[in-house]
């Protein structure tokens, strides 16, 4: 059976991605599903909003579950993820567009920070030292 070329490409991209790239993909997915949920709330499509808010919640839960607490910064991330999870539940219960917009804004900011971390990690050591 011939597979959809886009699906094959997507599956290959996931299978060959580094952990950092997978994290970026998860942030991108959370933003995408959050935006779909916002549009669904605007259109009064309660089921579609619920489904997509749950997808965002599962991504945030995955981030939280994979924190490595041997690094002190993990506690800070845990608090942020806990806040996002709580607010996503509130948004889902009340189908609150404003809460979802706030959540997408926070996730987008985290994604942008992650992209910056990835970019800096790729810099040669000497270039990184010159910036100090």
Tell me the pLDDT tens digit for each residue of 58-109: 999 999 999 999 999 999 999 999 999 999 999 999 999 999 999 999 999 9
How many independent structural domains does the chain possess? 1
Q: What domain range is 33 assigned to? A: 5-121
**Does the pLDDT value for residue 37 go beyond 90?**
yes
**Does the pLDDT value for residue 6 go beyond 70?**
no
The verdict on residue 130 lying in a domain is no
- pLDDT reported for residue 129: 54
The verdict on residue 131 lying in a domain is no
- pLDDT reported for residue 17: 81
The verdict on residue 127 lying in a domain is no
Which residues neighbour 127 within 8 Å (Cβ) at sequence distance 6 or greater? none
The verdict on residue 129 lying in a domain is no
The verdict on residue 128 lying in a domain is no
As a whole number of angstroms, the distance between CA 32 and CA 10 comes to 15
CB 27 within 8 A of CB 81: no
CB 40 within 8 A of CB 49: yes
**Does the pLDDT value for residue 128 go beyond 80?**
no
The verdict on residue 27 lying in a domain is yes
Which pLDDT band, with edges at 50, 70 and 90, does 16 fall under? confident
């Amino acid at each position: 059976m011939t597979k959809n070329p886009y699906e094959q490409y997507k599956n290959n991209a996931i299978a060959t991605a580094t952990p950092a790239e997978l994290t970026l993909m998860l942030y991108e997915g959370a933003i995408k599903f959050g935006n779909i949920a916002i549009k669904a709330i605007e259109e009064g499509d309660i089921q579609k909003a619920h489904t997509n808010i749950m997808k965002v919640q599962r991504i945030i839960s995955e981030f939280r579950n994979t924190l490595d607490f041997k690094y002190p910064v993990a506690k800070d991330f845990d608090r942020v993820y806990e806040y996002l999870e709580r607010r996503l539940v509130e948004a889902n219960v009340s189908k609150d567009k404003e809460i979802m917009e706030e959540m997408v804004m926070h996730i987008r900011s985290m994604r942008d920070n992650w992209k910056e971390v990835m970019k800096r990690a790729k810099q040669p050591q000497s270039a990184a030292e010159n910036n100090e």
